[in-house]
């Protein structure tokens, strides 16, 4: 038995359970091969001694790295950050660590470097938090070598599992609510053209706005883009009475520009963002926004990956986005 100040070893567990240390190893790594009575005895010894197996030792025994690779876009964006955090937590709950690679652009050399780095680490599977066609192709390339799941709005190849929130549906619900409230000229301050999420939100806006669609101006994802695009939209169509922004940061810039131009939110112009970030309820006018299930999507992505690693066919999970009505959207119904 170990002394009080010593960490218990696998041989201590074996001695207490009355089995060989090889049997303890099988309990830790392949419990399905161990008889129920022996399994129970060994697990009892592990609990009594407080034994914690070395991750490195388990990795050697299983002939894998016990590591999941994660590729995401640059961390300045809150959404991918929260999703990646949930992926990491889901991996650690299963005894795995994560090796994260942050990619700032779609250049082939950046994506190739991310792929080669993770393959060089010998990761057991990969989750790609994709944002563009090029990053989606990166997920496809991983899938030819490893179990792969992807967080993306857009089509994926049959060998890739996918988790996503419904960006088109979230945009549609928000803009439909604006139409129902009586708004007749709804502009869209759009995200970058090459972002798949931005494309889906724009499609949802167009489908819901119909004849009430105003101009669509590319703003990007930041307040400066929203500030600029808001002025461009009003110059193109002064009758704008509602704005659907690509995200809350864009809405912040739009709100400032509207105030400078003498447009009162929501009396003159209703304003809706996307993401329902922490700042949304605390702006001068509480910002209506579409709430995304960032954490739930990350959890689904890692769950799907482990299903594929366990031999299941790749599958998909879609999580709903929810429109949160606040003061910036104005009255709920037309009068």
Indicate whether this model's pTM tops 0.85: no
CA atoms within 13 A on the CB side of 195: 18
Same domain, 90 and 103: yes
How many distinct structural domains can be found in the chain?
3
| Pairing mode of beta strands 322-324, 289-291 | antiparallel
pLDDT-derived band of residue 282, with 50, 70 and 90 as boundaries? very high
Structure-token pair, residue 183:
């708004």
Residue 61 forms part of a structural domain: no
16: domain CATH number? 1.10.260.40
Q: Whose CA is closest to 183, among 218, 214, 206? A: 214
- Which letter does DSSP use for residue 275 in this model? B
Residue 60 forms part of a structural domain: no
Structure-token pair, residue 7:
């960490």
Whether 5 shows a pLDDT value over 50: the answer reads no
pLDDT-derived band of residue 6, with 50, 70 and 90 as boundaries? low
Give burial (CB, 10 Å; 0-12/13-18/19+) of 316.
Answer: middle
Residue 103 forms part of a structural domain: yes
Q: How far apart are CA 39 and CA 109, in angstroms?
A: 49
214: domain CATH number? 3.40.50.2300
Mean pLDDT of the chain: 89
102, β-bridge pairs: 72
Whether 17 shows a pLDDT value over 50: the answer reads yes
Whether 4 shows a pLDDT value over 70: the answer reads no
Whether 50 shows a pLDDT value over 70: the answer reads yes
Same domain, 275 and 288: yes
The angle at the Cα of 97, spanning 7 to 23, to the nearest 5 degrees, equals 50
Q: How far apart are CA 57 and CA 68, in angstroms?
A: 17
Residue 200 forms part of a structural domain: yes
DSSP H or E run through 25: helix 21-29
Residue 265: domain span? 167-292+324-329
pLDDT-derived band of residue 78, with 50, 70 and 90 as boundaries? confident
Phi, psi of 54 (to 5 degrees): -65, 135
Q: Give the model's pLDDT for residue 54.
A: 55
Q: Give the model's pLDDT for residue 153.
A: 85
Q: Give the model's pLDDT for residue 287.
A: 98
Whether 276 shows a pLDDT value over 60: the answer reads yes
Mean pLDDT of 147-176: 93
Contact 70, 88 (CB under 8 A): yes
88-117, pLDDT tens digit by residue? Answer: 999 999 989 999 998 888 888 888 898 899
pLDDT-derived band of residue 64, with 50, 70 and 90 as boundaries? low
Residue 240 forms part of a structural domain: yes
Between the alpha carbon of residue 253 and those of residues 188, 223, 272, 309, the distances in Å are 13, 4, 12, 44
Contact 179, 212 (CB under 8 A): yes
The percentage of residues in the chain with a pLDDT greater than 70, rounded to a whole number, is 92
Length of the chain: 335
Q: Which of 80-89, 131-140, 222-231, 314-323 has the lowest mean pLDDT?
A: 131-140
206-228, pLDDT tens digit by residue? Answer: 999 999 999 999 999 999 999 99
Q: Give the model's pLDDT for residue 106.
A: 81
Q: How far apart are CA 128 and CA 141, in angstroms?
A: 11
Contact 139, 75 (CB under 8 A): no
Q: Give the model's pLDDT for residue 60.
A: 45
Q: Whose CA is closest to 115, among 101, 136, 104, 105? A: 101
Mean pLDDT of 269-293: 96
DSSP H or E run through 141: helix 133-143
Residue 125 forms part of a structural domain: yes
Q: Give the model's pLDDT for residue 3.
A: 46
Same domain, 174 and 287: yes
Same domain, 259 and 213: yes
pLDDT-derived band of residue 157, with 50, 70 and 90 as boundaries? confident
Same domain, 161 and 305: yes
Whether 248 shows a pLDDT value over 90: the answer reads yes
Q: How far apart are CA 292 and CA 275, in angstroms?
A: 5
Q: Give the model's pLDDT for residue 269.
A: 98
Mean pLDDT of 272-299: 96
Query: In sequence order, what DSSP letters do the residues of 169-195 get, joined into one string?
Result: HHHHHHHHHHHHTT---EEEEE--TT-
Q: Give the model's pLDDT for residue 208.
A: 98
Contact 205, 273 (CB under 8 A): no
Q: Give the model's pLDDT for residue 334.
A: 57
Helix (H, G, I), strand (E, B) or coil at 243: strand
């Amino acid at each position: 038995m170990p002394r009080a100040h010593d960490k218990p070893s696998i041989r201590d567990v074996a001695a207490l359970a009355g089995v060989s240390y090889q049997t303890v190893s099988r309990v830790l790594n392949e419990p399905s091969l161990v008889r129920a009575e022996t399994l129970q005895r060994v697990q009892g010894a592990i609990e009594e001694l407080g034994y914690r197996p070395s991750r490195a030792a388990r990795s050697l025994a299983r002939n894998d790295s016990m590591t999941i690779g994660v590729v995401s876009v640059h961390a300045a964006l809150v959404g991918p950050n929260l999703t990646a955090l949930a992926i990491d937590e889901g991996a650690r709950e299963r005894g795995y660590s994560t090796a994260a690679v942050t990619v700032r652009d779609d250049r082939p050399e950046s994506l190739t470097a991310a792929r080669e780095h993770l393959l060089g680490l010998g990761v057991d599977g990969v989750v790609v938090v994709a944002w563009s066609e090029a990053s989606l192709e990166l997920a496809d390339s991983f899938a030819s070598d490893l179990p792969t799941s992807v967080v993306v709005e857009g089509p994926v190849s049959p060998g890739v599992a996918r988790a996503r929130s419904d960006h088109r549906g979230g945009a549609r619900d928000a803009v439909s609510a604006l139409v129902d409230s009586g708004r007749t000229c709804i502009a869209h301050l759009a995200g970058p053209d090459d972002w798949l999420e931005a494309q889906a939100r724009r499609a949802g806006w167009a489908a819901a706005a119909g004849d009430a669609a105003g101009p669509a101006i590319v703003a990007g994802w930041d307040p400066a883009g929203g500030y600029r695009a808001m002025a461009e939209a009003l110059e193109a169509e002064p009758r704008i009475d509602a704005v659907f922004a690509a995200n809350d940061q864009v809405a912040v810039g739009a709100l400032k520009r509207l105030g400078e131009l003498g447009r009162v939110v929501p009396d003159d112009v209703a304003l809706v963002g996307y993401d329902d970030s922490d700042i949304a309820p605390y702006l001068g006018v509480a910002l209506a926004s579409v709430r995304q299930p960032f954490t739930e999507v990350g959890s689904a992505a890692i769950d799907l990956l482990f299903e594929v690693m366990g031999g299941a066919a790749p599958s998909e999970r879609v999580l709903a986005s929810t429109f949160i009505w606040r003061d910036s959207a104005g009255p709920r119904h037309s009068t």
